[in-house]
């Protein structure tokens, strides 16, 4: 048996294959960028064929680096969660572009269901709110609007990205792990299968959906011709659940925040599904040997994608790291606040129609103030979520953070300052991939539990608050004015 774990980390803007040792040390990584398609305002799509081809290429290069398929003990997969693909069961080829989690095209459908008084039933069953963010309404839209999807009949398959990749890797195994299934709005949190009442809301045929399985265990074996030999797929989880595992938030109350394309905060809630009264989400953190562990979640739709937009489309930044330099170059935000609702607003507001705003501009405002306001919005949005979590009886005692944005030291300290708690950053930022490696290691029998597999995690960098309380209060008051104005527009 090999001594490497191959992780597929399929994100919104790129796909990667990462090679880990069983001790959790990264031994190699291959990454390819993914094209983003924006057919109209609010619409976001991916080419699922491109996702497959680039993922396969990245995997092949890492397997070659390891010395061949026989050197890989297991594969773990983690993915952008609510993005959905329709494909032909015979060929595995996609029938249309994937609809990405950020896409808002089904807002009207969700609003109509809300108007019919159906959101309480949906929330009670799934822990989710009626929002175009989740996969169910996207699948229904595909069936209604894309003839090639509808005409596929018995050969039609739907799945989130990990399900699609497993199907292609194995040559026909149609499964989805429980963490991803819990994000579709088609499965009850305490159910073992797709819920008939929820399927009926969006007119989705059950036979087109995958079988729901554990996050760790035997999830299939790769086709021999792909890598020169079979490799067991032993772990799978949505990216935010995987990051929570990779941060060792394995006890009730432990909380992590991932700052990637969006920002997502999860708190371990144990083996009982949490119920939110403050528009947070209940989700499955992971399932192992049929036992589920749940989490309470807050979702911010725009985080790292804000910096990408400021760099690539607005031209405010020459490179992403310049935001830290600009933030440090001024003493404060100069009264400037940026509400980054470029894809609507997520928790706790859930306003799909909201748009981004910049307020407080004057002739004294410089681009440094706008860049600083963009970074500050990360801490403000997290503070809004912390308030909602606290109202639901889950007050954060500390926060473990990860994702590409946390390389920004200024932003990390600002989080500690505004949240007024200890913020811990791991030495190895890519905890999403590490969580998938831990699941695969458990699924392959290398460790008996995720708690035992947590030895794969490295040390932490700790940040404590160092801001004057009056300054914190003043800044938060400015944010409340800005977000109230954005919500009112």
% of the chain with per-residue pLDDT over 90: 86
Q: How far does the chain reach from its first CA to its final CA, in angstroms?
A: 60
Q: Is residue 48 part of a domain?
A: yes
Residue 199 is assigned to a structural domain of this protein: yes
Question: What does the pLDDT look like over 445-461, one tens digit per residue?
Answer: 999 999 999 999 888 89
Within-domain flag for 364: no
What is the per-residue pLDDT for 218? 95
What pLDDT does 5 receive?
Answer: 97
Q: Look at residue 394 in the predicted model and tell me its pLDDT.
A: 84
In terms of Cβ atoms closer than 10 Å to its own Cβ (0-12, 13-18, 19+), residue 54 is buried
Q: In this structure, what are the phi and psi dihedrals at residue 283, rounded to the nearest 5 degrees? A: -150, 165
DSSP secondary structure of 186-221 = SB-TT-SSB-HHHHHHHT--GGGSPEEE-SBS---B
Q: What is the pLDDT of residue 347?
A: 85
The DSSP symbol for 100 reads P
Average pLDDT over residues 397-409: 91
Using alpha carbons, select from 164, 33, 6 the residue that is nearest to residue 88.
164
What pLDDT digit, counting tens, does each position of 149-187 carry?
Answer: 999 999 999 999 999 999 999 999 999 999 999 999 999
State whether residue 376 is helix, strand or coil: helix
Task: Reply yes or no on whether the pLDDT at 91 is more than 90.
Answer: yes
The answer, yes or no, to whether residue 320 has pLDDT greater than 70, is yes
Residue 201 lies in a domain: yes
Q: For the whole prediction, is pTM greater than 0.75?
A: yes
DSSP string covering 34-51, please? ---B-SSTT--EE-HHHH
The number of beta carbons lying within 10 Å of the beta carbon of residue 262 is: 25
Tally the domains of the chain.
Answer: 1
Q: Is the pLDDT of residue 415 over 90?
A: yes
Q: How many CB atoms lie within 10 A of CB 74?
A: 28
Q: How far is CA 89 from CA 3, 222, 295, in A?
A: 33, 16, 33
CB neighbourhood size of 28 (10 A): 15
- Token pair, residue 473, equals 């209060």
What single DSSP character describes residue 14? E
Q: Is the pLDDT of residue 1 over 70?
A: no
pLDDT in tens, 328-376: 999 999 999 999 999 888 889 988 889 999 999 999 999 999 999 999 9
Which tokens is 381 given? 């949005």
Mean pLDDT of 457-479: 94
Q: Is the dihedral of CA 352, 353, 354, 356 positive or negative?
A: positive
Q: How far apart are alpha carbons 236 and 258 in whole angstroms?
A: 18
Which pLDDT belongs to residue 153? 93
- Does residue 106 fall inside a structural domain? yes
What pLDDT does residue 253 have? Answer: 87
Residue 424: CB atoms within 10 Å: 19
Q: Residue 41's domain is classified under what CATH number?
A: 3.30.420.40
Say if 16 falls within a structural domain. Answer: yes
pLDDT on residue 428: 86
Q: How far apart are CA 218 and CA 214, in angstroms?
A: 8
Residue 2 has pLDDT above 80, yes or no: no
Report the distance separating Cα 166 and Cα 179, nearest Å: 15
Range of the structural domain that residue 108 is part of: 4-239
In this prediction, residue 458 carries a pLDDT of: 82
């Amino acid at each position: 048996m090999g001594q490497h774990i191959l992780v597929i980390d399929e994100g919104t803007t790129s796909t990667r294959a990462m090679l880990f040792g069983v001790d959790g040390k990264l031994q190699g990584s291959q990454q390819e960028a993914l094209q983003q398609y924006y057919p109209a305002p609010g619409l976001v799509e991916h080419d699922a064929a491109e996702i497959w081809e680039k993922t396969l290429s990245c995997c092949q290069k890492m397997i070659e680096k390891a010395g061949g398929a026989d050197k890989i003990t297991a594969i773990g997969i983690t993915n952008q969660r609510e993005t959905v693909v329709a494909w032909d069961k015979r060929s595995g080829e996609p029938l249309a572009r994937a609809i990405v989690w950020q896409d808002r095209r089904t807002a009207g459908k969700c609003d109509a269901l809300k108007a019919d008084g159906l959101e309480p039933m949906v929330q009670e069953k799934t822990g989710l709110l009626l929002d175009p963010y989740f996969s169910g309404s996207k699948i229904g839209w595909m069936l209604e609007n894309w003839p090639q999807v509808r005409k596929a009949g018995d050969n039609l398959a739907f799945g989130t990205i990990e399900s699609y990749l497993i199907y292609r890797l194995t040559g026909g195994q149609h499964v989805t792990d429980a963490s991803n299934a819990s994000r579709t709005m088609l499965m009850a949190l305490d159910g073992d299968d797709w819920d008939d009442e929820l399927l009926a809301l969006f007119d989705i045929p059950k036979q087109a959906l995958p079988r729901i399985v554990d996050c760790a265990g035997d999830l299939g074996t790769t086709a021999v011709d792909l890598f020169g030999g079979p490799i067991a797929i032993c772990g799978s989880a949505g990216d935010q659940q995987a990051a929570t595992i990779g941060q060792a938030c394995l006890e009730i109350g432990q909380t992590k925040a991932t700052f990637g394309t969006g920002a997502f905060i999860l708190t371990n809630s144990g083996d009982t599904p949490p119920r939110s009264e403050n528009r947070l989400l209940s989700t499955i953190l992971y399932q192992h040997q049929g036992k589920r562990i749940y989490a309470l979640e807050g979702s911010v739709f725009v985080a790292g994608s804000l910096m990408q937009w400021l760099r690539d489309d607005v031209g405010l930044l020459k490179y992403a790291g310049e935001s830290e330099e600009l933030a440090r170059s001024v003493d404060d935000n100069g009264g400037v606040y940026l509400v980054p609702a470029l894809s609507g607003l997520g928790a706790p507001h859930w306003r799909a129609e909201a748009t981004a705003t910049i307020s407080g501009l004057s002739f004294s405002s410089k681009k440094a103030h706008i860049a600083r306001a963009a970074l500050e919005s990360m801490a403000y949005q997290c503070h809004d979520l912390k308030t909602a979590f606290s109202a639901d009886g889950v007050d954060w005692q500390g926060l473990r953070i990860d994702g590409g944005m946390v390389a920004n030291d200024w932003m990390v300290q600002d989080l500690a300052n505004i949240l007024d708690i200890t913020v811990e950053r791991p030495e190895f930022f890519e905890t999403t991939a590490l969580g998938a490696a831990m699941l695969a290691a458990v699924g392959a029998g290398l460790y008996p539990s995720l708690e035992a597999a947590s030895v794969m995690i490295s040390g932490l960098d700790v940040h404590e608050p160092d801001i004057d309380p009056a300054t914190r209060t003043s800044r938060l008051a400015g944010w409340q004015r800005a977000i109230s104005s954005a919500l009112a527009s």
